[in-house]
C-alpha cells in the first residue's frame, strides 16, 4: 500500500533508494536478491524500468548480460554510477516500455525482470508490455516481476481501494501521477502465453511472480 507514494520518490531520484527502503519496510533488498536469483552466468537479461540500477548491478555480479531500459535520465545517471563495477555487462538505455515492440527482436532474452514498474502502466499498456515480453523472450525464457497487487476477492479489494485512496490523491496532488495496484496480475500474465511457476508474497500486497514462456 505504501507504494502509492512511489511517484513522489521518483520525482527525487537521488533520494529514491533511501525512500524505497522505507516504503518497502526494508524488504526491497531481499526482493531484488530473490529476483536476481533467477539469473545465471551468461544469461541475456532485459530489465524494464531499472530505476537507480540496484537490480542491474546484482545481475551483473552474477554474470548476466543486462539491457536496462528506463524513461528517466536522472534515474539512469544514478544507475550508471551504481553499475560501474560491472559496466561491461550492463547496457543502460533511455527507452519506454512501450517501445520494446520495435526495439527488440523475437527471442532476444533469457530473462525479463521488472520491479515496481507495471503498476505505473495503464491496463492496456500493461497487457501490451506483457505480450511483448513473451514475444522477445527465448523459448522457455522467464518473466520475473514484482509489484503491488490488488486483493482477488471483492470485499477486501473495495476495502483496500478505500484505504489507498487518500494516499493516491495526495500523491496525485504532488506529482500529477499515480500508481495502481495490479488487478488479476497472474491472469494477465497467463493470457499472454506464460505459465506461472512461482508466486511469492512479501506482505503489504507486494508479490513476486515468476512465469515461463509457454511453447
Ligand X SMILES: C[S@@+](CC[C@H](N)C(=O)[O-])C[C@H]1O[C@@H](n2cnc3c(N)ncnc32)[C@H](O)[C@@H]1O
Cα-based distances in Å from 125 to 31, 86, 132, 165, 202? 24, 32, 10, 22, 25
Among 38, 72, 192, 207, binds ligand X (CB under 6 A): 72
10 or 110: CB nearest ligand X = 10
Told to check if 193 binds ligand X by CB under 6 A, we report no
Is residue 57 at the binding interface for ligand X, with CB under 6 A as the rule?
A: no
- What residue number has its CB nearest to ligand X? 51
Kindly state the smallest distance separating residue 31's Cβ from ligand X, in Å.
Answer: 8
CA angle in degrees (0–180, nearest 5) for 137-96-49? 70
User: Interface with ligand X includes 116 (CB under 6 A)?
Assistant: yes
- Interaction of residue 148 with ligand X, rule CB under 6 A: no
For 187, residues 6+ apart whose C-beta sits below 8 A from its C-beta are: none
123 vs 152 by CB, closer to ligand X: 123
Q: What is the DSSP letter of 98?
A: G
> What are the two backbone dihedrals, phi and then psi, of residue 71, each rounded to the nearest 5 degrees?
-80, -20
Give Cβ neighbours of residue 170 (< 8 Å, ≥ 6 apart): none
Answer left, alpha or beta for residue 85, where phi above 0 means left and psi between -120 and 50 means alpha.
Answer: alpha
Q: Does residue number 149 form part of the binding site for ligand X (CB under 6 A)?
A: no
- Are 97 and 121 a contacting pair, CB within 8 Å? yes
Residue 44 binds ligand X, judged by CB under 6 A: no
Among positions 38, 67, 115, 206, the unique one binding ligand X when judged by CB under 6 A: 115
- Contact between 209 and ligand X by CB under 6 A: the answer reads no
Among 4, 23, 39, 75, binds ligand X (CB under 6 A): 75
Q: Which residues bind ligand X (CB under 6 A)?
A: 6, 10, 20, 49-51, 69-72, 75, 96-98, 115-117, 120
Amino acid at each position: 500500500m505504501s507504494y502509492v507514494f512511489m511517484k513522489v520518490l521518483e520525482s527525487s531520484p537521488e533520494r529514491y533508494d533511501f525512500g524505497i527502503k522505507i516504503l518497502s519496510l526494508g524488504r526491497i533488498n531481499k526482493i531484488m536478491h530473490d529476483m536476481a536469483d533467477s539469473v545465471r552466468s551468461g544469461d541475456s537479461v532485459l530489465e524494464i524500468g531499472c530505476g537507480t540500477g540496484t537490480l542491474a548491478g546484482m545481475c551483473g555480479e552474477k554474470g548476466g548480460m543486462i539491457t536496462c531500459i528506463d524513461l528517466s535520465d536522472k534515474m539512469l545517471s544514478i544507475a550508471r554510477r551504481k553499475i560501474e563495477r560491472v559496466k561491461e555487462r550492463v547496457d543502460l538505455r533511455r527507452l519506454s516500455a512501450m517501445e520494446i515492440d520495435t526495439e527488440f527482436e523475437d527471442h532476444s532474452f533469457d530473462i525479463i525482470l521488472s520491479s515496481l514498474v507495471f503498476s505505473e502502466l495503464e491496463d492496456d499498456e500493461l497487457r501490451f508490455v506483457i505480450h511483448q515480453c513473451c514475444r522477445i523472450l527465448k523459448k522457455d525464457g522467464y518473466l520475473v516481476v514484482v509489484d503491488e497487487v490488488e486483493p482477488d476477492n471483492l470485499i477486501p479489494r473495495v476495502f483496500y481501494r478505500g484505504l489507498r485512496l487518500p494516499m493516491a490523491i495526495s500523491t496525485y496532488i504532488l506529482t500529477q501521477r499515480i500508481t495502481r495496484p495490479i488487478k488479476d496480475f497472474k491472469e494477465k500474465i497467463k493470457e499472454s502465453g506464460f505459465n506461472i511457476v512461482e508466486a511469492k508474497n512479501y506482505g503489504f500486497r507486494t508479490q513476486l511472480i515468476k512465469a515461463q514462456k509457454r511453447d
